[in-house]
């Protein structure tokens, strides 16, 4: 039966992929490099699929190191050919670069500096892949295509793995309950890739539909949503929604809800006339929630509504146990060194072999202490200011930038993705980096219209709606 499921799944993937190719512009050959990187970053490591596992955390995996090292070097070569102005790029992204530079400095006092250097290179290497995407003729179109085509593979294969290949798609939680992670390995990663892909797919769904070659669109709501490219998107979103419910990744669900409100804000009667109202609403929500938490223990009631206990599935116990370990409060222990040095934390009279604190802010403190939190705050302030500025233009790019910024802030309350090789950090950096004017192929900032901060979004031939 499981091989029959594979036999059905592969044609479905091919059908979705082919429809997508038919309606999008052609990309450069380097596009495939970025697509492969994102596709594998959202699934289990390549070494796992090819049977090259078994390495310790300190040693890493030689197979992954060779493959991803080659991809990063290839990306650097491509960018050199495209004439990147590295000086201007660094100058325009000082806050992001300062955070990475500080993480590099932390390796001076790290217990395993060469291990940390290897990991930091892998994580920083994602920036080169991102720049390959940004140097495409139409970077926002390239970004949509990458995550849509990854979703065409991630979603159907994950459901097949969950149902027919339990050794791949299922893990078991602390209480013995089944957790569905699909081809991503565990449920939180599956929720993360669904979250990211959904942001791009929903953005396309509220824009003009695209006709397939030889199948012109007609006026009316049926043609708008059940023909052309929108049909492809709806099918993919339906698969993602089903997987999100099955995975029960509450962090991803909350981030998805908040992000969708941002992405659809221009369609809501109260908010569509003034994006500024959305920003004010977000700014007001923070102190209001803090006051409600102080007076009414608001988080306990909200967590009960979404089926979570006040311990956030034992995350609070992990945080308490982590804070009992000796860590330099000013400079931390070095990038990604805490878990290698201590090997785990004591939970319920036993040592739990963990690799994450399930909180990005606490994880940054472990890496770099108070100084690490300072550089993180500076980076978030700089990126957040730019995201708000872009959002106020009323463009699709601005809504995506603000949605990913908000998702990053929320997700790191219960997950650790800051400066970690993860799909969400990759998508965040895709919108965090200021790249205009850094490449010969990119139009100067002064020639861009306020409505389209990246490259003018194309109205496809045969499009219906808006």
In whole angstroms, what is the distance from residue 448 CA to residue 306 CA? 43
Both tokens of residue 18? 């082919």
- Of 77, 56, 75, give the one whose Cα is nearest residue 67: 75
User: pLDDT-derived band of residue 305, with 50, 70 and 90 as boundaries?
Assistant: low
**Coil, helix or strand at residue 180:** strand
Could you report the per-residue pLDDT of 201-221, keeping only the tens digit for each?
999 998 888 888 877 777 776
- Of 166, 170, 313, give the one whose Cα is nearest residue 247: 170
Cβ-based neighbour number of residue 43 at 10 Å: 24
The lowest-confidence range among 47-51, 307-311, 335-339 is 307-311
Paired with 171 in beta bridges are: 179
In whole angstroms, what is the distance from residue 205 CA to residue 466 CA? 10
In whole angstroms, what is the distance from residue 422 CA to residue 405 CA? 15
In whole angstroms, what is the distance from residue 417 CA to residue 192 CA? 10
In whole angstroms, what is the distance from residue 402 CA to residue 275 CA? 11
In whole angstroms, what is the distance from residue 229 CA to residue 457 CA? 16
Q: List CB contacts of 31: < 8 A, sequence separation 6 or more.
A: 132, 133, 136, 142, 145, 146
Could you report the per-residue pLDDT of 311-346, keeping only the tens digit for each?
455 677 888 888 888 999 999 999 999 988 887 777
Could you report the per-residue pLDDT of 139-176, keeping only the tens digit for each?
999 999 999 999 999 999 999 999 999 889 888 776 66
Cβ-based neighbour number of residue 47 at 10 Å: 19
Could you report the per-residue pLDDT of 346-388, keeping only the tens digit for each?
777 666 677 888 889 999 999 999 999 999 999 999 999 999 9
Could you report the per-residue pLDDT of 393-412, keeping only the tens digit for each?
888 899 999 999 999 998 89
Q: Where are the domains of the chain?
A: 85-124+269-461
pLDDT of amino acid 441: 54
Both tokens of residue 12? 């479905």
């Amino acid at each position: 039966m499981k091989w029959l499921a594979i036999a059905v799944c592969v044609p479905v993937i091919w059908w979705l992929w082919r429809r997508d190719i038919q309606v999008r512009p052609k990309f450069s050959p380097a596009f495939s490099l970025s697509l492969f990187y994102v596709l594998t970053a959202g699934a289990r490591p390549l070494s796992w699929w090819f049977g090259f596992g078994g390495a310790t955390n300190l040693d890493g995996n030689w197979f992954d190191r060779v493959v991803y090292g080659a991809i990063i070097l290839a990306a650097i070569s491509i960018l050199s050919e495209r004439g990147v102005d590295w000086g201007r790029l660094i100058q325009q992204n000082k806050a992001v670069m300062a955070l990475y530079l500080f993480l590099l400095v932390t390796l001076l006092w790290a217990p395993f500096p060469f291990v940390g250097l290897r990991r930091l290179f892998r994580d920083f290497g994602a920036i080169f892949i991102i720049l390959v995407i940004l140097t495409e003729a139409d970077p926002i179109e390239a970004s949509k295509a990458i995550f849509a085509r990854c979703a065409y593979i991630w979603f159907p294969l994950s459901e097949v793995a969950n149902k027919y290949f339990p050794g791949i798609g299922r893990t078991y939680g602390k209480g013995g309950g089944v957790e569905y992670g699909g081809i991503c390995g565990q449920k939180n990663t599956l929720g993360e890739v669904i979250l990211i892909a959904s942001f791009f797919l929903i953005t396309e769904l509220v824009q003009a539909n695209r006709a397939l070659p030889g199948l012109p669109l007609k006026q009316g709501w049926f043609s708008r949503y059940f023909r052309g490219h929108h049909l492809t998107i709806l099918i993919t979103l339906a698969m993602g929604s089903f997987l999100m419910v099955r995975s029960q990744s509450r962090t991803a669900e909350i981030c998805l809800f908040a992000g969708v409100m941002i992405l659809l804000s221009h369609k809501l009667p109260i908010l569509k006339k003034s994006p500024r109202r959305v920003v004010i609403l977000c700014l007001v929500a923070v102190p209001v929630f803090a006051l409600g938490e102080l007076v009414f223990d608001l988080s306990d009631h909200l967590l009960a509504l979404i089926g979570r206990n006040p311990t956030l599935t034992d995350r609070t116990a992990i945080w308490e146990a982590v804070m009992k370990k000796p860590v330099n409060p000013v400079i931390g222990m070095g990038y990604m060194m805490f878990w290698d040095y201590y090997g785990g934390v004591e939970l319920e009279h036993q040592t739990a072999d963990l690799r994450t604190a399930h909180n990005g802010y606490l994880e940054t403190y472990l890496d770099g202490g108070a100084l690490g939190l300072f550089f993180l705050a500076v980076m978030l302030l700089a990126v957040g200011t730019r995201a708000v500025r872009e959002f106020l233009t009323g463009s699709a790019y601005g809504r995506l930038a603000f949605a990913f910024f908000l998702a990053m802030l929320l997700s790191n309350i219960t997950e650790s993705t800051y400066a970690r090789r993860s799909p969400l950090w990759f998508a965040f950096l895709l919108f965090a980096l200021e790249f205009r004017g850094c490449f010969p192929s990119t139009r100067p900032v002064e020639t861009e219209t306020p409505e389209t901060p990246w490259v003018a979004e194309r109205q496809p031939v045969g499009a219906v709606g808006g």
